[in-house]
């Protein structure tokens, strides 16, 4: 059985590991399948995935799927006999703790986002200063676009991440693995495989909506997407176990969606210089970028445990 922290919910092995992983796979199917069953949500040639009607239908579908799976996990945790607190008393409220809903973990959330920002120090430098996004933030345009632009709302809030995916693949799935006595290492490294597989259906959608793209290119795109989705799943599961906060992984997920994959080659060209300029200024900013890239990774590694420590952790990881 996983080693809980002194303040974390203590449970008996009420379900088997096979049942727990079976639930995780079933949740994956429940989450993805409705997207391909209804004409309103199904990818079709000639219809952009950014079509407002399709986005609204997909948001409704995955929100319902996530709610159903979350209720199932809550019921399993609540009905597990017994669920005990650290003093051995019956504590059904600990089911909400196990799922990361309570306590909210505001301190843990701030520290987790800061930790992740260290990893993205160089991309933040490029985005805010070199590309001039700081001017947009002064006008609050990024925040306004979240509420007014449907694709942005989908990507940063609901469908492609933060809320529904973390509620399902972390909050609803991880507690079942711990309940079944699954080892912490396999919980961190194996459960995100299902999270990655849940994104493979994008390969099918891409082929439907982009029939002219060569198969090899589509496969390469899907492999890349699976790879970084799996790696992020490991990181998110680690943070979830260490902080016990669903809010923390939701905001970290949203932050990573905003940043995307970092640049790992090429020159950094400030927006205030003419395009194609290659002088000392460009080289200086490029040097700063790569210093921040490696310095940020080092700082992230150094703070990985210190900035994710919490008295309400779900496991002693």
DSSP 8-state class, residue 38: S
Going by the DSSP 8-state scheme, the letter that residue 81 receives in this structure is S
Tokens 């399709």, residue located: 54
Q: What is the DSSP string of 103-136?
A: S--HHHHHHHHHHHHHHTHHHHHIIIIIS-HHHH
Q: Bridge-partner residues for 10, per DSSP?
A: 84
Task: List the catalytic residue out of 165, 166, 269, 285.
Answer: 165
Query: Residue 122's closest CA among 311, 298, 315?
Result: 298
Least Cα distance to 126 among 302, 290, 308, 307 occurs for 290
Q: Is 165 among the catalytic positions?
A: yes
Q: Which residue has the tokens 């205030």?
A: 272
Query: In 133-166, which positions are buried (b, 16+ CB within 10 angstroms) versus exposed (e)?
Result: beebeeeeeeeeeeeeeebbbbbbbbbbbbbbbb
Catalytic residue among 97, 199, 202, 285: 199
The residues pairing with 287 across neighbouring beta strands, listed in sequence order, are none
Note if 199 is an active site residue: yes
Q: Which residues are catalytic?
A: 165, 199
């Amino acid at each position: 059985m996983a080693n809980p922290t002194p303040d974390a919910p203590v449970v008996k092995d009420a379900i088997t590991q096979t049942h727990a992983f079976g639930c995780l796979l079933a949740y994956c199917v429940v989450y993805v399948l409705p997207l391909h069953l209804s004409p309103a949500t199904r990818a079709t040639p000639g219809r952009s995935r950014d079509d407002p009607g399709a986005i609204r239908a997909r948001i409704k579908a995955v929100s319902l799927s996530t709610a159903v799976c979350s209720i199932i996990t809550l019921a399993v945790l609540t009905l597990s006999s017994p669920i005990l607190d650290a003093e051995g008393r019956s504590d059904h409220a600990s089911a909400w703790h196990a799922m990361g809903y309570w306590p909210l973990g505001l301190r843990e959330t701030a520290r987790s986002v800061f930790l992740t920002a260290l990893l993205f120090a160089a991309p933040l430098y490029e985005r805010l200063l070199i590309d001039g996004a700081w001017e947009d933030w002064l006008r609050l345009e990024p925040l306004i676009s979240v509420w007014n632009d449907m694709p942005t709302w989908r990507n940063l809030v609901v469908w492609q991440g933060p809320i529904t995916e973390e509620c399902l693949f972390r909050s609803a799935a991880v507690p079942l693995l711990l309940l079944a006595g699954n080892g912490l290492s396999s919980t961190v490294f194996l459960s995100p495989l299902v999270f990655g597989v849940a994104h493979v259906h994008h390969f099918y959608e891409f082929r439907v909506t982009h029939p002219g793209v060569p198969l090899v290119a589509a496969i390469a795109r899907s492999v890349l997407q699976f790879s970084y989705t799996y790696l992020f799943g490991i990181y998110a599961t680690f943070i979830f176990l260490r902080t016990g906060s669903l809010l923390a992984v939701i905001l970290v997920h949203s932050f990573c969606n905003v940043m995307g994959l970092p640049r790992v080659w090429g020159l950094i060209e400030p927006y205030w210089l003419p395009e194609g300029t290659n002088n000392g200024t460009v080289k200086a900013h490029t040097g700063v970028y790569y210093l921040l890239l490696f310095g940020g990774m080092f700082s992230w590694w150094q703070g990985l445990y210190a900035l994710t420590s919490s008295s309400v952790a779900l496991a002693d990881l």
